[in-house]
Amino acid sequence: MSRVGIEPRAVTRWLILGVIGLLMALPIVAMVEFSLRGAPGEYTLDHWTGILDPENERKYRGLFEGVGNSLLLAVVTVLIVNAMLVPTMVLVALRFPTLQRWLEFVCLIPITVPAIVLVVGLAPVYGVVSRIFGSSIWTLAFAYGITVLPYAYRAVRAAMDAVDIVTLSEAARSLGAGWLTVFFRVLVPNIRRGMLAASVIATAVVLGEFTIASLLNRENLQTSVLLISRSDPYVATIFALLALLFAFVLLVIIGRVGAVQPRRSTS
Amino acid sequence: MTASTPTGTRVQFRAVTKQYPGHRALDGVDLDIAPGEFVALLGPSGCGKTTALRSLAGLEQITDGEILLDGSDVAATPVNRRDMGMVFQSYSLFPHMTVLENVEFGLRMRKVDAASRRARAEEALEMVGLGVHGKRFAHQLSGGQQQRVALARALVTRPKVLLLDEPLSALDAKVRVQLRDEIRRIQLELGITTLFVTHDQEEALAVADRVAVMKAGRIEQIGAPEDLYQRPSSAFVADFVGVSNRLPGTVSGGGIDVHGVLLPLLAPARPDGAAVALVRPEDVRFAAAGVAATVLTTSFLGALRRTKVALADGTELAVQHGTEVAPTEGAVVHLAFTGAPVALAD
C-alpha cells in the first residue's frame, strides 16, 4: 500500500516522540536521581527505606495522614460527582433539555475562577459547613466537588452524547421500567466510560490540590509534602513521585476497565 | 408466539389537544381504532402525528380531551404502566445488552421467571426471523435487523397496542418494503391493535386498514386506503396521497371545464366559478385527438412509465401509461381525461 497524505516518515515520528518523551521524562528522572542521592557522589536507597522505618514514624506521621486525607477526599469527591452530577445531567437531558446550556455554563464556571478567589468565597461558607458537618477533612470534598465540575461535566457529557439517552429511556419506560431501573440498568451502563473518566479526573485533581486545603487550614497530601520538604526534601520528592505513579496506575487501570467490551455471553 | 388478546384493544381519542408554548400540536383530535385494527397516521412533518402516538404511549401529557383504552381513560397511567409496545424511528436497542437480553427486558420488568422469559424471547425472535442472532449485540446487526429485534421486544410482552413511530424511515428501500410487509403479517397473525406513524403515503396505503391524514394538528380525513386515494375530501389529501395534476378550469353545471373538456365532479354541489381540478396521472391517457401537449420528459418505472407533458398554456402534467408507449421528448401528443378529478382546489 502506498503512503499518501501528509503523514510524517517513521524517522520523523520517532524523533518527535523521542523529544517529547525526553522532555516529559526529564523532571521525573531528575526527581528519581535526587531521591537516591546520598553522600556526595554516591547513591543510596536510604531515603526510600527510611520512610517505612519505625524510628521515623513520628517524623512522617503528618505525611501519611496527608496521604490518607487526600485518598479519602478523592473517594468522597468521586462519590459527589457520580451521585450528584450524573443524575442531574441525566435529569436535565431527559426532562429539562432547555436547561442544558445553563447547566453547562454553571458547570464550566469554576474553571474560570482561580482557586484563591474560590477560597475567599468558600471561607464563610465553611463556617456554616463546619457547624453542620463538623470540621473533618472530608468536608473539603464539597469544595473539590466544585473545582472538578468542569472536567467531570465534559467527560460525562461526551459519553452521554455518544448514545441516544432520550430514546433509550423512552424505550425502557415503554417496556415497563421505572425511573430507577432506567437510570441504573439502561443509562449508567452506557455512560459508564464517561463516569470512569470523570472519576479519574476528579481523583487526579484532588491528589494535586494545594491552594484550597492550605488556605482553609486542612491537611492533605500537597500541604504535607510542602511541610516535610522544609525538613526533608528527599522524602517530599519521593512522595511527589509516588503520587505521580499512583495517578498513572489509576489511569491505566481505569482506562482498561473502560475499554472492556460488552459481555459476549448471555446470562 | 400466540396472541393473548386476539380481539385487540379499542383505542379512542376524544377531542385530544396538546398545546406547547406558542404551538398547538394536536387540535381536538377524534380517532376511534377498532380492536385489532391497523391504523396509519399520515402527514407532513409537524402535523402532529408523532405527538398523537406519543400521547397514546404516555410519553406526552395531553392538554385536553381523553384517550381511552377499552373505554378506560389512561390520562393518569404513567408510560411504564400503559402496556404499550413501541418501535421507535431511531435505533433503540440497549447497546450493552445482547439481542436476547433486549427482548427479555420487558418480561424482566414484569417479573416473568427466567425460563419463561427465555422461551418467550426466543419465540419472539423466531417470529421476526432472527432466532439465531440472540447472542449478538445491536452494533453487530444491520439497521433492518435492529428494527426487527425492536419489534420482537415490543411484542414479546403481548401489549395492548403496538405503536410504530416511523420505524422504517432509516432503512433502505428494499428492506423497508420487506419489513413493512412483515409487520403487517405479524399484526394480522397476532390481531393486535396497531397505530403506525409515517410520512410515506405508499407505506401507509400498503399496510393499513385505515389511514388518517393529518394536517396542522387535526385529522383531515380518515378512511380505507382506496377511499382516500379515490375520494379525497380535500385538495390537501389529494395532493398528499398519490400524485395529482393541478389543472385550472371553470366549474359550471355540475362539471368542470378543463381546456375545453368537461369533466364530471365527484361532489357536484360546488358553486360555479374558477377552480383547480386535481387529476390523477392514471386518469390521463394519450389519444388520437384531444388536448394538445408537448412531451417534456419520460421516465421508465418498471411496470409502467410516467411522462411529463406541457399544455399550450404552460401547465405541466404527468401522464401514467403502459411501457409499450415510449413518447420522445419534444413530440406533440394529444390527451384525453378518463376519470373525474379526485378533488378541486381554489
B15-63 per-position pLDDT tens digit = 999 999 999 999 999 999 999 999 999 999 999 999 999 999 999 999 9
> How many domains is chain B built from?
2
Please indicate, yes or no, whether residues B79 and B207 belong to a single structural domain of this protein. Answer: yes
Is it the case that residue B181 has pLDDT exceeding 50? Answer: yes
Is it the case that residue B288 has pLDDT exceeding 70? Answer: yes
Interior CA angle at B105 toward B143 and B122, to 5°?
A: 70
The residues, ordered by sequence, that sit 6+ positions from A72 with a Cβ below 8 Å of its Cβ are A137, A138
Residues of B in contact with A164 (CB under 8 A): 90-92
Please indicate, yes or no, whether residues B227 and B109 belong to a single structural domain of this protein. Answer: yes
Distances (CA, A) of B191 to B5, B71, B341: 7, 19, 37
ipTM at complex level: 0.86
Which CATH architecture does the domain made up of A54-259 adopt? Answer: Orthogonal Bundle (1.10)
pLDDT confidence band for B268 (50 / 70 / 90): low
Identify the domain containing residue B310 by its residue range: 244-345
> Is residue B6 included in any domain, yes or no?
no
Please indicate, yes or no, whether residues B31 and B76 belong to a single structural domain of this protein. Answer: yes
Instruction: Cell numbers for A47, please give them.
Output: 531515603
Q: Is B66 exposed, middle or buried (0-12, 13-18, 19+ CB in 10 A)?
A: middle
Please indicate, yes or no, whether residues B224 and B250 belong to a single structural domain of this protein. Answer: no
pLDDT confidence band for B4 (50 / 70 / 90): very low
Please indicate, yes or no, whether residues B220 and B249 belong to a single structural domain of this protein. Answer: no
Is some CB atom of chain A closer than 8 A to the CB atom of B323? no
Angle, in degrees to the nearest 10, between helices A140-147 and A115-133: 140
Look at A176 and B157 and tell me if their CB atoms are within 8 Å: yes
Please indicate, yes or no, whether residues B116 and B91 belong to a single structural domain of this protein. Answer: yes
Residues of B in contact with A263 (CB under 8 A): 98
Please indicate, yes or no, whether residues B218 and B261 belong to a single structural domain of this protein. Answer: no
Please indicate, yes or no, whether residues B127 and B205 belong to a single structural domain of this protein. Answer: yes
pLDDT confidence band for B5 (50 / 70 / 90): very low
Please indicate, yes or no, whether residues B153 and B198 belong to a single structural domain of this protein. Answer: yes
Is some CB atom of chain B closer than 8 A to the CB atom of A267? yes
pLDDT per position as a tens digit, A71-110 = 999 999 999 999 999 999 999 999 999 999 999 999 999 9
Is some CB atom of chain B closer than 8 A to the CB atom of A172? yes
Strand partners for B194: B38, B162
pLDDT confidence band for A267 (50 / 70 / 90): very low
Distance of CA B74 to the CA centre of its chain: 25
Considering B176, B209, B236, which residue would you say is the last residue of a domain?
A: B236
Percent of chain B with pLDDT over 70: 98
Please indicate, yes or no, whether residues B108 and B257 belong to a single structural domain of this protein. Answer: no
**Residue-range domain boundaries for chain A:** 10-44, 54-259
Query: Is residue B3 a contact partner of residue B85, using CB atoms and an 8 Å limit?
Result: no
Query: What does the pLDDT average to over B124-148?
Result: 94
